[in-house]
Structure 1
Amino acid sequence: MSSHTDCLFCKIVAGEIPAKVVYQDEQLLAFHDIAPKAETHLLVIPKRHIENLNDLSHSDAELMSHLMLKLPEIAAQQGLTGFRTITNTGVEGGQEVFHMHFHILGGKRLPGF
């Protein structure tokens, strides 16, 4: 797993920064967001550093399939029957941490767009 020494999420993967982890396997890590925007707010990240969706290639297809299939399983483990999944790509898309991550938001009924 490659690591970017200045990347917050790579430091969490490496165990250098603590996180309230709810799921992990060889490819993924899921943990509670430290600034939750919903009753349940988790972040799901690939352990390998990928900046965002713009950096994906066809060689990432297996990883992304695994990630997408794990999102509802992780949500269900947290007791969520309905949830919202969001990923932000690039500064213009609202990305703040430049390590690809998916938000799982749930709990009370979330407002619509």
Structure 2
Amino acid sequence: MTNDFYCDEVLSGKTAVEKVKETANVLAYHHTKPYYPVHIVVIPKKHIPSLIAIVESEHDLLLELMLVIKETAAEVTKEYGSCKVITNLGEYQDSKHLHWHIVSGQPLNQS
């Protein structure tokens, strides 16, 4: 197994997820171990290590990702009043696959 939960588990189908939105190239789903009451993850279906690894030929994919993130964040904001859109880099990035978190509410107790 690599250090890429999204390719190894989610996109391979080994880990079932509750889909929120899906396009040909992007998947948004409820986090499998949420840190917030509302915790949605948005990933490209193509492996890209991180935001800073995107190359010019992937700009259309980045625009598609941003559209899914925008639509999902708008839905969360409409339902819950607010949300955060987060991406991590470097040591903060547990899985080395480009992804965003759309979260709302106070962090859950992660004991």
Instruction: Determine which of 100, 103, 112 is the counterpart of 2:101.
Output: 103
Identity of aligned residues (%): 32
Partner of 1:24: 22
The superposition leaves residues 20-75 of structure 1 with CA deviations (integer Å, 9 ceiling, x where unpaired) of 21111110011111232222110000000001012111111111111112212123
Aligned pairs for 1:1-113 (under 5 A) are: 6=2, 7-10=4-7, 11-78=9-76, 79-91=79-91, 94-107=92-105
Aligned-partner residue type, residue 89 of structure 2? T
Q: Which residue of structure 1 aligns with residue 109 of structure 2?
A: none
Report the more deviating stretch, 32-41 or 49-58: 32-41
TM-score normalized by the length of structure 2: 0.80
Does the aligned pair in 2 maintain the 1:83–1:107 contact within 8 Å? Answer: yes
After superposition, the CA RMSD in angstroms is 1.8
Q: How many residues align?
A: 102
Q: Which runs of 5+ in 1 are unaligned?
A: 109-113
CA distance in 2, matches of 1:66, 1:80: 24
Q: Distance in 1 between matches of 2:104 and 2:23?
A: 22
Q: Normalising to structure 1: TM-score of the pair?
A: 0.79
SS of aligned partner of 1:104: strand
Q: Which amino acid aligns with 2:71?
A: E
Tell me the distance in 1 between the aligned counterparts of 2:81 and 2:25: 24
Gaps of at least 5 residues in structure 2 are 107-111
